[in-house]
Structure 1
Amino acid sequence: MDDRAVRILAICGSEREGGNTDLALGHAGELVRARGAEFEVLHLRDHRISPCSPCGDCNSRAAACELRDDMPGIVARMRAADGLIYATPVHGFGLAHLMQIFIERAGVGYLRFDRPLANKVGGVLVTGRRYSEGSVHNQLVDNLLLNRMILVGSGFPALLRNTAPEPALDDREGLDALERMVHRMLDMCLLLRRNGGEYPDDPLPSYDRNERVSRRGLPV
């Protein structure tokens, strides 16, 4: 069995350094490292990610996006991880803009051709005051499923609330959900690694790598 440490990469869509999302990911990192795995946070605020341009050829092109920004390097780090956590605050009753731009550019510009995140373990963390956390969580879950990732069931979704003006981790139920999600992700990563050699067939057939191609290999 592969004896390297399991790697979890968190994609943080918060613009605020030291905010609730950062605190929650810090707690997740402690849990991951306590089990001997590696944990890294990629802060989107530290990277240059261009919004999708008006080129309009996303549905017809056969190669990755040609916009020059940090996305290729980010995607490379995602591909190297065993598990991915998408973490974001709620802004304006919806997805924080950094995370929205990220999933658009990553999905349309880079991930839709071969679905390189297929069978990686995915988790979602959402922080907010009291409104729309579920809607934001659902959007990110849909994105993980679109990319053929494995979403672990861990009880209640990891939604952390804080109505105080200062960042804090006071939501005991939210923290319990986050802890369960983290441990389930690690368990699933280890299970997949232990059993990876028993399945000679590609778990993601060629006809399922791109939803624009039918099962017969023809464009749809």
Structure 2
Amino acid sequence: MKVTAICGSAHKDGNTETIMKLVLRELQAQQIETELIPLCDLEIQPCRGCFACRGKGQCTAIRDDFGGCFERMVSAQGILLGSPVYSADISAKMKAFLERAGVVAACNPGLLKYKVCASVAAVRRGGGLTTVDTMNHFFLNKETVLVGSTYWNMVYGKESGEVLQDEEGIKNMKNLGENMAWVLKRLF
């Protein structure tokens, strides 16, 4: 069993990656393989809406790093998305990735069906719920199984590492990892 985590932050080892690693650590403790893909290292262009992906299971119109990332997501049993809050919503990289993934999945039904999914947000002050909702809406219309926790999946902090001071948020991330593991073990 494997969970692929896709981090939409522009900062390597920032707050979003930190909270995602907390979730992944809980999965690893349950003998579930994990991988973290930071989008900051990749070139992801926005969708052109050309639908060349129909029946192909992959975007064939744009040559960038999307294909490898999407392929790894499709091959996993679980998906964790994470984004910081930029202008009260997900980051531009995450938006471009989800637009492309959404069109490919819609044009190739069943690619993400029954995958166990969750999303998390690193929040300075506001916009966290919108950010989580955006990623959750992607999951909900792709026939995935969405996992929650004891509260909204967001952790507060501005400077890198500051999220570790949000005790309630940290507990929520750990619980989310435990919940994902529980669901994965029952489905797979």
Equivalent of 1:104 in 99, 107, 125: 99
1:142 correspondence with 2:142: no
- What is the TM-score when the length of structure 1 is the normalising length? 0.77
Work out whether residues 22 and 173 of structure 2, in 8 Å CA contact, stay in contact via their aligned partners in 1. Answer: no
Aligned to 1:22, the other structure's residue is in SS state helix
Is the 2:12–2:38 contact (alpha carbons within 8 Å) kept by the matching residues of 1? no
Paired amino acid for 2:161? P
Aligned-residue CA RMSD (Å): 1.9
The residue number in structure 2 matching 1:43 is 38
The match for 1:156 is 151
- Asked which structure has the greater RCO (Cα within 8 Å, sep 6+), the reply is 2
| One-letter amino acid of the counterpart of residue 133, structure 2 | N
**Which structure's residues are more often helix, by fraction?**
2
* Corresponding residue for residue 10 of structure 1: 5
2:165: which partner in 1?
A: 170
Query: Is the aligned partner of 1:69 residue 2:58?
Result: no
Structure 1 partner of 2:85 = 90
The one-letter code sitting in structure 2 at the alignment partner of 1:97 is A
Shift of 1:45: 1.4
Q: Which amino acid counterpart does residue 167 of structure 1 have in structure 2?
A: G
Contact 2:83–2:90 (Cα < 8 Å) also in 1: yes
**Contact 2:121–2:131 (CA<8 Å) still a contact in 1?**
yes
Which residue of 31, 50, 57 maps to 1:57?
A: 50
Aligned-partner Cα distance in 2 for 1:37–1:144: 21
Q: Which has the larger radius of gyration?
A: 1
How far apart, CA to CA, are the structure 2 residues paired with 1:23 and 1:71? Answer: 23
Which stretches in structure 1 are left out of the alignment for 5+ residues?
A: 1-5, 194-220
- Deviation (angstroms), 1:61: 5.4
Displacement of 1:96 after TM fit?
A: 0.8
Q: Give yes or no for contact 2:114–2:144 (8 Å, CA) kept in 1.
A: yes
Judged with a 3 Å threshold, the aligned counterparts in structure 2 of structure 1 residues 69 and 123 are, in CA distance, closer, same or farther, namely same
Structure 2 residue ranges without an equivalent (≥5): none
Query: How much has 1:166 moved relative to structure 2?
Result: 3.8
- Aligned twin of 1:197: none
Matched with 1:181 is 176
> Which aligned runs of 4 or more in structure 1 are off by greater than 6 angstroms?
none
Q: CA deviation at 1:62?
A: 5.3
Deviations 1:111-164 (A, max 9, x none): 11223111000001100111010011111111101111101232212110014x
Given that residues 158 and 175 in structure 1 are in contact (C-alpha distance below 8 angstroms), is that contact kept between their aligned partners in structure 2? no
State the AA in 1 paired with 2:46: P
Measure, in 2, the Cα distance between the counterparts of 1:24 and 1:176.
10
TM-score, normalising length: structure 2: 0.90
Letter in 2 for 1:142: H
Alpha-carbon offset, residue 28 of structure 1: 2.2
